[in-house]
A and B are shown apart, each in its own frame.
Chain A
Amino acid sequence: DAGVTQSPTHLIKTRGQQVTLRCSPKSGHDTVSWYQQALGQGPQFIFQYYEEEERQRGNFPDRFSGHQFPNYSSELNVNALLLGDSALYLCASSSWPGHTEAFFGQGTRLTVV
């Protein structure tokens, strides 16, 4: 049983560019949440998708947007990249929005130069 998979694993982008990160949830899960984790810090909630809609959003600017597809996979898009966007981006899946036994992918390490 495949767990949560994220792609790519590493990415280097230039300031001002746009990036798309991808996530496939664990089999049987329909809810995807995205987190940003800076070095030495805990994850920060970006947003959550359920039934192809953004259900909740953390304190992140509109440059961060997402999408969920009918097969429950999800994308995170970040526009106009800033140096401060460099972080580990984590995707977590669960069986419904309120279910808190979330399973995480290995993350995408984004470096903005």
Chain B
Amino acid sequence: EDQVTQSPEALRLQEGESSSLNCSYTVSGLRGLFWYRQDPGKGPEFLFTLYSAGEEKEKERLKATLTKKESFLHITAPKPEDSATYLCAVQGEANYQLIWGAGTKLIIKP
């Protein structure tokens, strides 16, 4: 069964304190792994798609990496506006639906 587990559930950082979020997955043939950001009461906002192990993508203070079993979202020198829930999802080769993790709630204190 396809499954996604994100850790930690919540992470509190001081502004400028870099860290990483983890997304572990099991899927029958990975079609793609996706990172989204979700602000309270809003829909998820697309950040990255990763397709194969070793791939990396960057956007501002965020960098996503992928291995055969997990993905990391690295946050460098975060700012308070980076506070949000970060969701990870995978799509397997069997079908097109996204399987989601429960998310990591990131809080950046000024």
Contacts and interface: CB of A to CB of B under 8 A. Distances in A.
Contacts of A97: 96
Interface residues of A, number: 26
Interface residues of B toward A: which range? 20 to 34
Given A100-B31, A100-B32, A100-B49, A44 B42 contact: no
Interface string A90-113: 101000011011111111010000
A109 B44 contact: no
Interface stretch (B11-19, B57-65, B98-106): B98-106
Given A4-B43, A55-B96, A56-B95, A101 B101 contact: no
The B interface, classified by DSSP as helix, strand, loop or mixed, is strand
B75 interface: no
Given A42-B87, A107-B42, A100 B102 contact: no
B101 A100 contact: no
Nearest to A31: B96
Interface in B69-110: 87, 89, 91, 95-103
B26 to A, nearest CB: 15
A40 interface: yes
A71 interface: no
Interface in A11-57: 33, 40-45, 48, 55-56
A56 B99 CA distance: 13
Interface of B: 4, 31-32, 34, 36, 41-46, 49, 87, 89, 91, 95-103
11 contacts: A42-B103, A43-B44, A45-B97, A48-B96, A48-B97, A88-B41, A90-B43, A98-B96, A100-B91, A104-B44, A109-B41
Which 4 A-B pairs rank lowest in CB-CB distance, beginning with the nearest? A42-B100, A104-B43, A45-B97, A97-B96
